[in-house]
Amino acid sequence: MSLIDKNLIAAHNDRLLRHVNNDYAHLGEQLARRGIDIEAVRAKVAAFGVAIPSWGVGTGGTRFARFPGRGEPRNVFDKLEDCGVIQQLSRATPTVSLHIPWDTCSDWSELRQAAASHGLAFDAINSNTFSDQKGQAHSYKFGSLTHGDAATRAQAVAHNIECIEIGQKLGSKALTVWIGDGANFPGQQHFRRAFDRYLESAQQIYAALPGDWRMMLEHKICEPAFYATVIQDWGSSFMAASALGPKAQCLVDLGHHAPNVNIEMIVARLIAAGKLAGFHFNDSKYGDDDLDAGSVAPYRLFLVFNELVAAAHEGVSGFDPAYMLDQSHNVTDPIESLMTSAAQVQRTYAQALIVDRAALDAAQDANDALVATQCLKRGFDTDVTPILQRVRFDAGGAIDLVGAYRASGYRQRVAEARPAVAGGGGGIV
């Protein structure tokens, strides 16, 4: 089922194709001069996909206010439709990552079918023990998997196991666990005991993982526990993943680090240890801003991809990260933000692919810092847009993502069917 009229996409593409082909030929020539085969790069970019967060298609908000957009998805089926539009136009987002219980459904097989009808499958499923749900027996105000009370921990463990069961019905192969547990005051929590409780709870979840599943442990420096968070950095995450076993790995959300932290180096360390689960891509200026990927620091994103491409190039065993977006859209149409972010991630991958690895190795061996850094800059400075446009066109997507989307009138259409939602203050989700 196509959500956007194929003829509209074709008509839009027709007007641009001649230019795209010229630009592609020109870029191919440039790259050939550098010994790079543009077709090989194109094939890799075409095979690359990044998952859409189901929570990203609704307007986010801050803890101060939320200003809903038009045609907000009413339920998980609406969310899948929006994800279907993103995939139809971008052809870079073949999977969706669900968040339970934000995404509720009485028939998961119906949801799986709905996803398939939009050309979508499911990536990692996310549990949520950072807020209380209606009717739950024990509150997470003072923690979930690390709570001092055994019954509260058991409830949080049971929720994670339920997420695994739901994920199995949907074809997911991973559970992502992020907890907000921690302390807001010095002295509030016994650090070592809280971590031990985390391990004990996580072990029970780990024991319920199917053989071909992964458990992705996501760390974050702070928020909502502003003084100390239990899984606050990659060190704590790595300790936990190591204690749990080979199916547990560390997930890197780009917004979850202290300012100026060398994220690409964390990525390299996790790759070396066989513990890189994957990513939540977004961008950030100050904290967990959840801004669009590459909108603030595209070079930082590039340096992360440089590590990924190097690992694949060198054949690091077991290297298989999951790629997901995790963004909050406050002032843009979420569909536009997610499409352009997916394209940005694709772009960054392409830029890292064209880095001359042999020249970089040689410059490193010769301690030639200037040439080494120029090798990277050369990849980053190359405008790979024609490759992305061709990949989208070849797969039936739109050359001009936002142009085609706006021309389709999709947002106006759903705004008529989906009732307006009142805005208001408070609530970060």
* Residue numbers at the binding site for Mn ion (CB under 5 A): 253, 280, 288, 326
Q: Which of 103, 288, 289, 307 binds ligand LRH (CB under 6 A)?
A: 288
Tokens of 366: 């010769």
CB of 216 to ligand LRH, least distance (A): 10
Q: CB-based contacts of 318: which residues, under 8 Å, 6+ apart?
A: 274
Measured from the CB atom, is 197 or 220 closer to ligand LRH? Answer: 220
Q: Which of 280, 329, 347, 392 binds ligand LRH (CB under 6 A)?
A: 280
Contact status, residue 176 vs residue 124, Cβ threshold 8 Å: yes
Tell me the residue type at 365.
D
CB of 384 to ligand LRH, least distance (A): 28
Instruction: At 165, give phi and psi (nearest 5°).
Output: -65, -40
Among ligand LRH, Mn ion, none, what binds residue 126 when CB lies within 5 to 8 Å by partner kind?
ligand LRH
**Burial category of 238 from C-beta neighbours within 10 Å (exposed 0-12, middle 13-18, buried 19 and up):** buried
Measured from the CB atom, is 288 or 307 closer to ligand LRH? Answer: 288
**Burial category of 113 from C-beta neighbours within 10 Å (exposed 0-12, middle 13-18, buried 19 and up):** exposed
How far apart (Å, rounded) are the C-alpha atoms in residues 117 and 108? 14
The residue sitting closest to ligand LRH, measured at its beta carbon, is 178
Q: What x-and-dash track marks residues 345-384 binding ligand LRH by CB under 6 A?
A: ----------------------------------------
Tell me the residue type at 254.
L
Provide the β-strand partners of residue 228.
183
CB of 130 to ligand LRH, least distance (A): 7
Site for ligand LRH in 154-183 (CB under 6 A): 178
Q: Which of 283, 326, 333, 400 binds ligand LRH (CB under 6 A)?
A: 326
Q: How many residues bind ligand LRH (CB under 6 A)?
A: 9
Q: Tell which residue, 47, 4, 49, has the closest CA to residue 342.
A: 49
How far is CA 31 from its chain centroid?
A: 30
Q: Which of 42, 147, 214, 220 binds ligand LRH (CB under 6 A)?
A: 220
| Residues engaged in binding ligand LRH (CB under 6 A) | 55, 126, 178, 218, 220, 253, 280, 288, 326
